[in-house]
Chains A and B, each alone.
Chain A
Amino acid sequence: MKQMRKLLTIFLCLIFLISGCWDYVEVEELTLVRTIAIDYLPERRAPYLVTLAISLPADIAGEKSGSGGGSPTQLFSAVGATLNLAIEQASLNLSRRLFFSHAELILIGEEAAKHGLLHILDFISNHPQVRFNVDLLITKGFARDVMTTTERLEVAITEEMIGMIDQARYSSESDPLQAFEFLQKLVTPGQDAYTALLLKGPPLEEEIAKLKDEQKPGGQEESTEGGAGGANGGGKSEGGSSGSTEDIQEILTMAGLAAFQNDKLVGFLNSHETRGLLWFLGKTNRTFLAIENPEKPSETISLHVARVQTKIKPHLENGQISFSVEVITEGDIRSQTGNTEIFTPEMINKINSAKAGAIKQEMEKAMRKMQELKVDLVGFGTILYRHDPETFRLLEEKWPEEFSKLKVNIVVTSEIRRTGMQSHPARLRR
């Protein structure tokens, strides 16, 4: 007993020695890194360009904005042979200790993504502070350019991007993944990884001004595309705006996906193809579909999709692999451009089949794109593996080629549950 006491006392005293205040840091001595933007500069000795977006505490930011109107985010950049070296380089410019636990976003430039994400993913998973659930976004062009965009609604550009990611989860134009989800997709055999794409371009207002100048009725094209119009506007203008006026304040758009083969970027899916892919994955939520009125093709009906269920089954016949995809959707009618009485059971049946057709068209479009890029973003290979491991093992080596020739049979069933708040279309006085 006495021996025990002695030992216990020694241990108690040791506790103060072995775990001391060595990692004690006051909050105000930290700088919170909110976004890490990673670019790759090929053919240089220090190819990694890291840009850290650092949030300033509200007080200091307040003082600054009171006098000069600066943003509460400061950017620090540095280059290095690896990310860690680059960050160390960047910290030479800093008066405070870098703290990565509050980084919520990692932006990867197009060039870096093409070079390969292996080093970046290793950095994320190995760093003691960087969390595994940071959002991973790919930017077209330099990631650093995105960081210099002026924020519009939030206090800092990071908050703006995080908000956009949250918003993207309520629509079906892109599908931002967190680092661990990306890595999961990457390591699963028979599956290729993707993540959301962040675009920077002039806002639609600039386009409108241009259209007004041209005085052409081309604007109609834009409006018929419904919800996707705004996003597409941003995307399309990417090429055209590069040479135009410089004082245009460019804005960020989250639309489309970046597709990876292994860890290398191979291509982009636009927002339509993205939705096509999401139908396969059953991940579409709350999206709008525009279909032609089955009675009067000149009129458009917009439909809301609320629920999607997708079942994918592999079929093996005579050594030939094919997949059957069954999509079940539910949703409501939201609006129409005319005033046809569309709320009759017969009409609803017709609308249902039109909707199913539209969805199938989108899915086929996405499938063609994926087969063209030879990236199996849906994970047909994984499904085959789970169903018939032997067959997949034989095909594993040449799966991208197999995938590009894959036959997929898509069956869409659609149910319209509600017709919105009205049971009749708006009546015009006759």
Chain B
Amino acid sequence: MTSAFSIFKKLNIFKKKEVPTKNRGSAAKKAENDDSPILSERLALIKKRLGESNDVVIREFSSSNDKVKMALLYIDGLVDKKMVNDNILQPILSNTIANQYTEKLTSENALELLQKHITSASELSIAPNLTQALKMVLSGDTALFIDQEQKVIICGTRMWEKRTVAEPETEAAVRGPREGFTETMRINTSLLRRRIKHENLRFETMKAGRRTATEINLVYISDLVNQSVLQELRRRIAAIDTDAILESGYIEEFIEDVPFSVFPQIEHTERVDKAAAAILEGRILVMTDNTPFMLIIPTSFFQFIQASEDYYERPFVAFFLRLLRLFVLNVALILPATYVAVISFHHEMLPTSLLLNIAAAREGIPFPAVAEALLMEGTFEVLREAGVRLPRTVGQAVSIVGGLVIGDAAIRAGLVSPGMVIIVSATAISTFAIPAFNASIALRILRFPLIILGSIMGLYGVIFGLIVILIHLAGLQSFGVPYLSPLVHGTIGDMFKSLIRPPLWMSRTRPDMLKLQQQQRQATNVGKRHVPPEKRELTHEKMEENNAGER
């Protein structure tokens, strides 16, 4: 027993440790000290710091009156070269009459003249020193160094190859916009801006990742969002001290409340409409550069059985689908375990004829029901995983082989009973019917311990396992919002809303559990919607009367 506890103690090594930042800080300071306004020294320093990378472009030149030496620094492939030529180089170098200011350039007034009159780039800023300038350059901006000038002009020239906005593959919808997020932050922000044209929509930039310097945007509506959640989120993201952030999953792992839980505590989406809906509901969207997956904070469990389509189809459809998903969720979790438990222990629970059929089918199967279940579930998981990774053309071959092996050959060979195949396939289909992949895979993982519990202790074990899962779920929180809310800790209206999607004109308030600044979403539309017949303007009778009058 004590050894088991010592394992827990050892787990403490996973706690975040302060990474010594001393060396790093002093190195940066040293570099700053080396920084000098003399152009040639500066360029040497740049070459030293960026190394001999072949995509670093340094273009030295003089102004047309030959009084000021300047240099351009940009990364090839990240900038719009045409823009650099037309808007920066051309105006400085050309000596046309139209450009009277280039004549007056001296090293003293260069910064001001260049900034105000000469360069025609629309995005322009000043970096105080080389280190700042280099950061911007590495993000795709162009730096203009002036001899004898400490400050650096930064021109916004970002332009690189982008994936076009396409339909999100992981969250396809029958009805709804087909646009999904892309890997480019700017496109993504524009997609959101186009949906929420409100002055209070905020994009707050943060950076994380020591080497990747990944841009992270917190998107929220400033007069809705719960300030304490926002504060906490800022704090947690600022505390991320890691080498690289390559995907939003990295951030998710760093900021989630309970790291050792199979359940996803932060929802992610590729759908723009879903993200917009979350923001409008008062949640915070965490956008990460270079990935189309955005995090939604805070998250509760029931979000995983909701799809954006629920709000585009009629309420009845949504109600039915949500019930179906809830059912399917349970099937995916407990069906094989229940089957194994009943087959092994509770023979009296089945109708006689069904039991006789199952017994007949199991006749001659060499394995106990547990082994059979684990074998089939395992095979299915392998097939699914193989299908995900393989190219589409090969994937078909896998599915055919897998289908034959699972469906037919295994039964004929007497390895598994047909009943188990039905159970496993029903479970498999059920897991695919859950909208969120990360939630369904959590259930899939939990299925295996439940099967084992069911085989050892029967239904008692299954229920025991379910209670353990439920206790765990009830203990989870996502940024202060209970994971099972609104089912626990919610208003009655919100409880109903988690299952029944009310008609849009009836859902007056935002979820109570988020504790927002403004609870009310819209005015009471209930009374207004119904217009008494005498006040209706375009009834058939009136139209006919009008027509008659005209005649």
Assess whether A27 is in contact with B362, with CB atoms less than 8 Å apart. Answer: yes
Assess whether A58 is in contact with B357, with CB atoms less than 8 Å apart. Answer: yes
Residue numbers in B under 8 Å from A99 (CB-CB): 347
Report how far A15 CA is from B357 CA in the complex, Å. 33
Assess whether B1 is in contact with A101, with CB atoms less than 8 Å apart. Answer: no
- State how many angstroms separate the Cβ of A214 from the closest Cβ of chain B: 45
| Those of A1-38 within 8 Å (CB) of chain B | 6, 9-10, 15-16, 19-21, 23-28, 30, 32, 34
Report how far A408 CA is from B464 CA in the complex, Å. 60
Residue numbers in A under 8 Å from B360 (CB-CB): 57-61
Residue numbers in A under 8 Å from B361 (CB-CB): 59
The answer to the question of A273 belonging to the interface, with a C-beta cut-off of 8 Å to chain B, is no
- State how many angstroms separate the Cβ of A6 from the closest Cβ of chain B: 7
The answer to the question of B190 belonging to the interface, with a C-beta cut-off of 8 Å to chain A, is no
The answer to the question of A104 belonging to the interface, with a C-beta cut-off of 8 Å to chain B, is yes
The answer to the question of B344 belonging to the interface, with a C-beta cut-off of 8 Å to chain A, is yes
The answer to the question of A102 belonging to the interface, with a C-beta cut-off of 8 Å to chain B, is yes
Report how far A28 CA is from B343 CA in the complex, Å. 10
Most buried by B among A10, A56, A58, A60: A58
The answer to the question of A139 belonging to the interface, with a C-beta cut-off of 8 Å to chain B, is no
Most buried by B among A19, A28, A104: A28
**Binary CB contact string for chain B from 1 to 14 against chain A (1 if under 8 A, 0 otherwise):** 10011000000000
Number of B interface residues in the complex (CB < 8 A): 28
Residue numbers in A under 8 Å from B363 (CB-CB): 28, 57, 59-60
Report how far A30 CA is from B344 CA in the complex, Å. 11
Given contacts A24-B345, A99-B347, A101-B347, contact A30 B359 (CB under 8 A): yes
Assess whether B358 is in contact with A27, with CB atoms less than 8 Å apart. Answer: yes
Residue numbers in B under 8 Å from A131 (CB-CB): 348
The answer to the question of B457 belonging to the interface, with a C-beta cut-off of 8 Å to chain A, is yes
Q: How many A-B residue pairs have CB under 8 A?
A: 76
Residue numbers in B under 8 Å from A61 (CB-CB): 360
- State how many angstroms separate the Cβ of A285 from the closest Cβ of chain B: 26
B369 nearest CB neighbor, chain A only: A26
Given contacts A21-B455, A23-B345, A25-B347, contact A10 B358 (CB under 8 A): no
Report how far A336 CA is from B343 CA in the complex, Å. 56
Report how far A277 CA is from B360 CA in the complex, Å. 45
Given contacts A23-B345, A28-B359, A58-B357, contact A16 B456 (CB under 8 A): yes
Assess whether A57 is in contact with B359, with CB atoms less than 8 Å apart. Answer: yes
Residue numbers in A under 8 Å from B365 (CB-CB): 28
**Binary CB contact string for chain B from 449 to 480 against chain A (1 if under 8 A, 0 otherwise):** 00000011100110010000000000000000
The answer to the question of A55 belonging to the interface, with a C-beta cut-off of 8 Å to chain B, is yes
The answer to the question of B352 belonging to the interface, with a C-beta cut-off of 8 Å to chain A, is yes
- State how many angstroms separate the Cβ of A128 from the closest Cβ of chain B: 10
B343 nearest CB neighbor, chain A only: A27
Report how far A19 CA is from B347 CA in the complex, Å. 18
**Binary CB contact string for chain B from 332 to 365 against chain A (1 if under 8 A, 0 otherwise):** 0000000000011101100010011111111111
The answer to the question of A129 belonging to the interface, with a C-beta cut-off of 8 Å to chain B, is yes
Number of A interface residues in the complex (CB < 8 A): 30
Contact of B1 among A9, A104, A129 (CB under 8 A): A9
Contact of B348 among A20, A55, A129 (CB under 8 A): A129
Report how far A2 CA is from B215 CA in the complex, Å. 42
Assess whether A24 is in contact with B344, with CB atoms less than 8 Å apart. Answer: yes
Given contacts A26-B362, A101-B347, contact A55 B352 (CB under 8 A): yes
**Binary CB contact string for chain A from 50 to 88 against chain B (1 if under 8 A, 0 otherwise):** 000001111111000000000000000000000000000
Assess whether B457 is in contact with A15, with CB atoms less than 8 Å apart. Answer: yes
- State how many angstroms separate the Cβ of A282 from the closest Cβ of chain B: 32
Residue numbers in B under 8 Å from A19 (CB-CB): 456-457, 460-461
Report how far A24 CA is from B340 CA in the complex, Å. 11
Assess whether A58 is in contact with B344, with CB atoms less than 8 Å apart. Answer: no
Report how far A59 CA is from B418 CA in the complex, Å. 13
Residue numbers in A under 8 Å from B455 (CB-CB): 21, 24
Residue numbers in A under 8 Å from B352 (CB-CB): 32, 34, 55, 102, 104
- State how many angstroms separate the Cβ of B76 from the closest Cβ of chain A: 59
- State how many angstroms separate the Cβ of B457 from the closest Cβ of chain A: 5
Report how far A21 CA is from B368 CA in the complex, Å. 12
- State how many angstroms separate the Cβ of B551 from the closest Cβ of chain A: 57
Given contacts A15-B464, A19-B457, A21-B456, contact A102 B345 (CB under 8 A): no
Given contacts A26-B343, A59-B360, contact A102 B369 (CB under 8 A): no
Report how far A10 CA is from B1 CA in the complex, Å. 8
A131 nearest CB neighbor, chain B only: B348
Report how far A104 CA is from B355 CA in the complex, Å. 14
Assess whether B355 is in contact with A102, with CB atoms less than 8 Å apart. Answer: yes
Residue numbers in B under 8 Å from A55 (CB-CB): 352, 356
Report how far A57 CA is from B358 CA in the complex, Å. 8
B349 nearest CB neighbor, chain A only: A101
B346 nearest CB neighbor, chain A only: A101
Report how far A59 CA is from B411 CA in the complex, Å. 14
Residue numbers in B under 8 Å from A58 (CB-CB): 356-357, 360
Given contacts A19-B460, A27-B362, A99-B347, contact A57 B356 (CB under 8 A): yes
- State how many angstroms separate the Cβ of A106 from the closest Cβ of chain B: 15
Assess whether B348 is in contact with A101, with CB atoms less than 8 Å apart. Answer: yes
Residue numbers in B under 8 Å from A15 (CB-CB): 457, 464
B2 nearest CB neighbor, chain A only: A6
Assess whether A30 is in contact with B347, with CB atoms less than 8 Å apart. Answer: yes
Residue numbers in A under 8 Å from B345 (CB-CB): 23-25
Contact of A27 among B1, B355, B464 (CB under 8 A): B355
**Binary CB contact string for chain A from 37 to 51 against chain B (1 if under 8 A, 0 otherwise):** 000000000000000
Report how far A30 CA is from B368 CA in the complex, Å. 14
| Those of A104-156 within 8 Å (CB) of chain B | 104, 129, 131
Given contacts A55-B352, A59-B363, contact A26 B1 (CB under 8 A): no
Report how far A405 CA is from B362 CA in the complex, Å. 62
- State how many angstroms separate the Cβ of B397 from the closest Cβ of chain A: 34
Report how far A407 CA is from B20 CA in the complex, Å. 106
Most buried by A among B352, B368, B369: B352
- State how many angstroms separate the Cβ of B469 from the closest Cβ of chain A: 14
Residue numbers in B under 8 Å from A102 (CB-CB): 347-348, 352, 355
Contact of A6 among B1, B355, B461 (CB under 8 A): B1
B358 nearest CB neighbor, chain A only: A27
- State how many angstroms separate the Cβ of A392 from the closest Cβ of chain B: 41
- State how many angstroms separate the Cβ of B542 from the closest Cβ of chain A: 52
- State how many angstroms separate the Cβ of A42 from the closest Cβ of chain B: 34
A20 nearest CB neighbor, chain B only: B456
Residue numbers in B under 8 Å from A57 (CB-CB): 356-357, 359-360, 363
Report how far A24 CA is from B358 CA in the complex, Å. 16
| Those of B111-151 within 8 Å (CB) of chain A | none
A13 nearest CB neighbor, chain B only: B1
Residue numbers in B under 8 Å from A9 (CB-CB): 1, 4
- State how many angstroms separate the Cβ of A116 from the closest Cβ of chain B: 29
Q: CB within 8 Å of A: which residues of B? A: 1, 4-5, 343-345, 347-348, 352, 355-365, 368-369, 455-457, 460-461, 464
Q: CB within 8 Å of B: which residues of A? A: 6, 9-10, 15-16, 19-21, 23-28, 30, 32, 34, 55-61, 99, 101-102, 104, 129, 131
24 A-B pairs with C-beta separation under 8 A: A6-B1, A9-B4, A10-B1, A15-B464, A20-B456, A20-B457, A21-B456, A24-B344, A24-B345, A26-B344, A27-B358, A28-B363, A30-B347, A30-B359, A32-B352, A57-B359, A58-B356, A59-B360, A60-B360, A60-B363, A61-B360, A101-B347, A101-B348, A129-B348
Known interface pairs A19-B461, A27-B369, A104-B352; 15 further A-B residue pairs with C-beta atoms within 8 A, sorted by A's residue number: A6-B5, A15-B464, A16-B456, A19-B456, A21-B344, A21-B456, A24-B344, A27-B359, A28-B362, A32-B355, A55-B356, A56-B356, A57-B357, A59-B361, A102-B348
User: What 9 A-B pairs are tightest by C-beta distance, nearest first?
Assistant: A101-B348, A57-B360, A59-B360, A57-B359, A27-B359, A58-B360, A28-B362, A102-B352, A28-B359
